Structure 1
Amino acid sequence: MLVTSKLSKKMEAVEAYTLQQRLQSYMEQPGNPMGVEMGVFEGAKAFIVKKIPGPSLNTVRLLSPSHLPLLPEIIDFYKQHNLTPTFDIAPTTNIEPLLRGLSEYGFCQAGFHVCLFKPINPDTSISDNELSTQLTGNDSSYFGKLYAGAFAMPSSFSETIGINNEQLMNDPNWFYYHRDDSFGVLHIAGDLANLTGAGTLPKERCKGHHQKLIHTRIVKSAQAGCSLAIAQASFQSQSMSNLMKTGFLIGYMRAIWRKR
């Protein structure tokens, strides 16, 4: 399968949709405790999570050169909430004016994120001993502890993480799997599957758990009738390596722009 403009736009749209669905579930909690806000600017989507002020969630997606005149409005949207946006920009034609505009507003490129894809064989299968166990909302406390431990977060964060994910863990389009103190999350959006997150406790790393979780999610994607799986990873990370070992190909590199 060749990487075409149509394919890369589809991948970008699904990635943004997955994030939107996740944050929508946060917003629907009583009182919106995470302080989620969303803005739409002629197709570009701006996400805010006040209680998680880092760059991964306070991000602008689906930005294109046509949005250049809207940059002041988008930046002001974040200023109103005392936040600074991160712009996640997929490659497109005639992008230089947009990047120059971001630079003029004090932003610079801070890194790359790799977006990968894999066509799904409907006959995909693996042996039973390789399959991982699915978690439900009843396991949200365990998942919170696992997530916090995998990403070296304070243990006090685990309860909030569990609560934030409990609703999605019971959603028919979301699947949470675990094995041997590692986890992997899958989101089904139509005929596309997004392997949207994974982590392993330090003591269990380098034992092949991540690759088995990838296989489990691909099997589930095939069972759900998906034709394509996508995933994201930091450039040259172990996650990127494991995804490519299981047949994923690089679709494009997303540029990450942050305030200087």
Structure 2
Amino acid sequence: MSQTLTQETVNLIEKSERDYMLDRMKAIQERPGNPEGVEIKSFGNALALYSETMPWPAFNTVKGINTNEIELLDEIVEFYKSRKRKVQFEIVPSRVNQALLQELAQRGYYQSGFHTSLYYPIVDDSIIELSDIRIREITAEEIQTYATIHCRSTGLPDEGIPHVAQNNLILCGRPGWKFFVAMKSDIPAAVGVMYMKDSVASLTFAGTLPEYRNNGLQQALIRRRIYEATITHCNIVIGQAGFLTQSHRNMEIIGMKMGYVRTTWTEL
């Protein structure tokens, strides 16, 4: 794969972000009785994700929209309005034009945030140097450990640990998904998740317990996941992070390149 950013690479990055979130939402939806009330609907190329019990934007978002979906905007908005949920649109540069942005503005949406997508092309001579930090794969039996680090690293209350555990247990062992934990003095201190499909690897989540930050754990987890992608014959690794956050900087330190900065459009 060429290391120069092309429109083809941009499309591949967007597709990877769509693929991993779609598979995650399908897995949650497939839990007996669909307890989170997940709904998934396509509007042309746009993918609308919704959860009745998880109001967070990541679970109620529109991915993959482009200019061709202008005529479907009212249907998309109504899909969420009828469920009493505000929606956000994820806009990828070069996939939309001024006309679609004007339509969003006229409907009361505004640009509310930025999110960076980075990529690491795996070429024939790719060599990723692994850290000496001990990292191992998480099994389904350890999902409580994962959920604890997930919640405490993101500021979620401990009451949410069982909820996060259940929604990630279904991914452990599901094709394409891998969970890793990094150890500090034999204590599980940081986690990283990846999803692989069609020779593309996505770094889908990472978190470190606050008391163990600034120890190189996340850089080690990025290296380990790139290594896993390489030995499973992926062509590219893709990650997402808030613009200029520590996660963004960690990815660039490892050698990942910026693909694009997508914007988030939210209803007033």
Aligned to 1:49: 51
Relative to structure 1, is the Cα distance of residues 130 and 124 closer, same or farther in structure 2, using a 3 angstrom cutoff? farther
- Report the TM-score when normalising by structure 1: 0.96
Q: Is 2:94 the partner of 1:92?
A: yes
Q: How far apart are the structure 2 equivalents of 1:128 and 1:43?
A: 40
Which of these residues, 129, 139, 142, is aligned with residue 139 of structure 1?
142
Q: How far apart are the structure 1 equivalents of 2:51 and 2:130?
A: 40
Q: How far apart are the structure 2 equivalents of 1:217 and 1:131?
A: 13
- Tell me the alpha carbon deviations over residues 102-129 of structure 1, each in whole angstroms, 9 at most, x when there is no partner: 0011100001100100112455354573
Q: How far apart are the structure 1 equivalents of 2:62 and 2:150?
A: 24
Q: How does 1:1-260 map to 2 (within 5 A)?
A: 1-92=3-94, 95-121=97-123, 124-127=127-130, 129-180=132-183, 181-260=189-268
The answer on whether the counterparts of 2:119 and 2:259 sit within 8 Å (CA) in structure 1 is yes
Q: How far apart are the structure 2 equivalents of 1:186 and 1:56?
A: 17
- Long gaps (5+) in structure 1: none
- Long gaps (5+) in structure 2: 184-188
Q: How far apart are the structure 2 equivalents of 1:146 and 1:214?
A: 17
Aligned residue for 2:132, secondary structure, equals: helix
Displacement after TM superposition at 1:96 (Å) = 0.5
CA RMSD of superposed structures (Å):
1.3
Aligned residue for 2:179, secondary structure, equals: strand
Runs of 4+ in 1 over 2 A off after TM superposition: 121-131
Q: How far apart are the structure 1 equivalents of 2:253 and 2:113?
A: 23
Equivalent position amino acid for 2:99 in 1: P
Relative to structure 1, is the Cα distance of residues 200 and 95 closer, same or farther in structure 2, using a 3 angstrom cutoff? same
Equivalent position amino acid for 1:232 in 2: Q
Q: How far apart are the structure 1 equivalents of 2:205 and 2:36?
A: 20
Equivalent position amino acid for 1:115 in 2: S
The answer on whether the counterparts of 2:131 and 2:223 sit within 8 Å (CA) in structure 1 is no
Q: How far apart are the structure 1 equivalents of 2:214 and 2:150?
A: 17
- Report the TM-score when normalising by structure 2: 0.94
Aligned residue for 1:111, secondary structure, equals: strand
Displacement after TM superposition at 1:227 (Å) = 1.1
